[in-house]
Amino acid sequence: MSVAYALEKQVAISAVLRACSLTSSVFKKLVKDETVTKNDKSPVTVADYSAQAVIGSILAKAFPDDPIVGEEDTAALRSATAPPETELLRDRITTLANEALHEPLQPGDNEAWGIGPNAPIRTNGELLDAIDRGTHLGDSKGRMWTIDPIDGTKGFLRGEQYAVCLALIVDSKVEVGRFYNGDTFPLKLSSNVPRRLLESYESGHSSHGLSEKVSKILGITEPPLRIDSQVKYGALARGDGMAYFRMPTGVGYEEKIWDHASGDLIVSEAGGIVSDSRGEPLNFGLGRTLGKNYGVIGSAKSDHAAILKAIQQVSSESERSKA
């Protein structure tokens, strides 16, 4: 992250830490204590909206002119036909977001960002508006932030990997990236790492079958490490595996920019490279998605060409078998 973006970096740190404190509180109160049933996704709904409200509120004060591409919007919360429990959800969002925004100031924080014990109490309407700052459609020019308030929904509900993610994109390039879930990721990516792949935990998110075939070509014998969320990028950046694959599982799906922006930068800063399966950099200037899904591959630079070649070989063989 450039020195030119020192303020943006500090704001991102503050916003993500407060949002992550909120999501951790929701997990401890509603999931860990099993006050909801196993199939109830209401805790992640509460946490998603509340975390985006916190981040949106801080960005509105720190960078009021910057648009935001966020995962959530409040159409369902504002609907006149919403079920009765929606009012309770709105109240919960208001309480949680204000608690996070009013936490004590930490080194680097600034009261001007609307945080700290003396910050004003946000109304429900103000917090819903903060969430809806995330409805920007994306652009190839200028500044914009992208938010994933809980990346890894199922991981969150399992008490495993998830992350609160925030990135600043300028002229289609990620300039600031921050994600956090309580873990730390020293950046030391090199070719001297375990010869295993990092994959999405859910088979519906990435083709595990393709990864198995690529592993055979590359001589990888260790089983893959399967992780939820952009934590995979952090694991790659600190050398927990040699590559991260996320290959298409169906036609028509487009990867969302908030699922990859922070991770893309973190791997790059660790000395690695992230591309699609053609070797092209991920394009964050196409709107709210990365466009046509050519997959995502991250690795050390020294391994990248061999991995791309193996993927292209497997893909070609698969196409020939269909013919």
pLDDT digits (tens, 9 = 90+) for 60-103: 999 999 999 999 999 999 999 999 889 999 999 999 999 999 99
What value does the mean pLDDT take over residues 191-216? 79
pLDDT digits (tens, 9 = 90+) for 104-118: 999 999 999 999 999
Residue 289 per-residue DSSP state:
B
**What's the distance, Cα to Cα, between the start and end of the chain in Å?**
47
CA distances in angstroms from 68 to 22, 150, 172, 283, listed in the order given: 20, 16, 13, 17
pTM across the whole model: 0.92
In which band, very low, low, confident or very high, does the pLDDT at 203 lie, cut at 50, 70 and 90? low
pLDDT tens, position by position, 253-262: 899 999 999 9
Rounded alpha-carbon distances, angstroms, from residue 93 to 86, 160, 295, 302: 10, 23, 35, 46
- The region of weakest confidence among 135-149, 179-193, 228-242, 267-281 is 179-193
Buried b (16+ CB within 10 A) or exposed e, 281-318: ebebbbbbbbeebbbbbbbbeebbeebbebbeebbeee
pLDDT in tens, 276-306: 999 999 999 999 999 998 999 999 999 999 9
Residue from 23, 48, 74, 289 carrying the catalytic annotation: 48
The yes-or-no verdict on residue 59 having pLDDT over 60 is yes
What value does the mean pLDDT take over residues 201-223? 81
Active site residue 153: yes
Out of 77-91, 116-130, 200-214, 309-323, the most confident range is 116-130
Long-range contacts made by residues 138-142, C-beta under 8 angstroms, separation at least 24? 138/69, 138/257, 138/285, 138/286, 138/287, 138/288, 139/67, 139/285, 139/287, 140/171, 140/172, 140/285, 140/286, 141/171, 141/172, 141/285, 142/170, 142/171
DSSP type of residue 30: I
3-class DSSP state of 181: coil
CA–CA separation, 201 and 282 (whole Å) = 22
Q: Where are the domains of the chain?
A: 3-180, 197-322
Alpha carbon distance 217, 212 (integer Å): 9
Question: What does the CA dihedral 284, 162, 11, 21 come to, rounded to 10 degrees?
Answer: 160
| Binding residue positions for Mg(2+) | 71, 148, 150-151, 259
User: What value does the mean pLDDT of the chain take?
Assistant: 90
**What pairs with residue 198 in β-bridges?**
225, 244
- pLDDT tier at 248 (50, 70, 90 boundaries)? confident
Q: Given this model, what pLDDT does residue 319 score?
A: 75
C-beta of residue 180 within 8 angstroms of C-beta of residue 16: yes
pLDDT value, residue 48: 95
**Which of 86, 135, 153, 249 is labelled catalytic?**
153
Q: Which one-letter DSSP state was computed for residue 27?
A: I
- Name the burial class of residue 80, with classes exposed (0-12), middle (13-18) and buried (19+) by CB atoms within 10 angstroms of its CB: exposed
Task: Write down the architecture of domain 3-180 according to CATH.
Answer: 2-Layer Sandwich (3.30)
CATH number assigned to the domain covering 197-322? 3.40.190.80
Distance (Å, rounded) from C-alpha 65 to C-alpha 136?
12
Q: Which range is least confidently modeled, 12-26, 215-229, 279-293?
A: 215-229
User: Which parts of 182-243 fold into alpha helices (H)?
Assistant: 208-218, 231-237
